[in-house]
């Protein structure tokens, strides 16, 4: 369970990871809960999650750098704009194929 909650695999659980992990699986599948989780990451509320927002979330993780953040985004970013929109986030959270 801990490993599943540790989204960036750094050995610790940050606040945003905790929010996602704390939701029951059936609640996670609801559109509202997914939007709430997305909003926890989307700090500037512009409808997308960028590398700067992820860096803020993971800033306390030792050894976590911009290259790892960019890699995380590329794994989810199906339209190639360098950001994660809600639909991309939703696919990732529901275990759908990305990209």
Q: How much is the pTM?
A: 0.67
Locate the domains of the chain by residue range: 2-93
pLDDT digits 0-9 by tens, 31-84? 888 899 899 999 999 999 999 898 887 776 666 678 888 888 999 999 999 999
Q: Topology of 2-93 in CATH?
A: Recoverin; domain 1 (1.10.238)
- Can you give the pLDDT at residue 82? 95
Q: Which residue has the tokens 């800033």?
A: 59
Measuring CA to CA, which residue among 33, 9, 25, 27 is closest to residue 86? 33
Q: What pLDDT is stored for residue 26 in this prediction?
A: 65
């Amino acid at each position: 369970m801990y490993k599943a909650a540790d989204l960036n695999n750094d050995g610790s659980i940050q606040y945003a990871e905790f929010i996602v992990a704390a939701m029951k699986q059936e609640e996670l599948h609801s559109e509202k809960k997914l939007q709430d989780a997305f909003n926890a990451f989307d700090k500037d509320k512009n409808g997308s999650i960028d590398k700067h927002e992820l860096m803020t979330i993971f800033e306390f993780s030792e050894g976590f750098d911009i290259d790892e953040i960019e890699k995380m985004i590329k794994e989810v970013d199906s339209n190639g704009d360098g950001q994660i929109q809600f639909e991309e986030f939703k696919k990732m959270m529901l275990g759908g194929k990305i990209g």
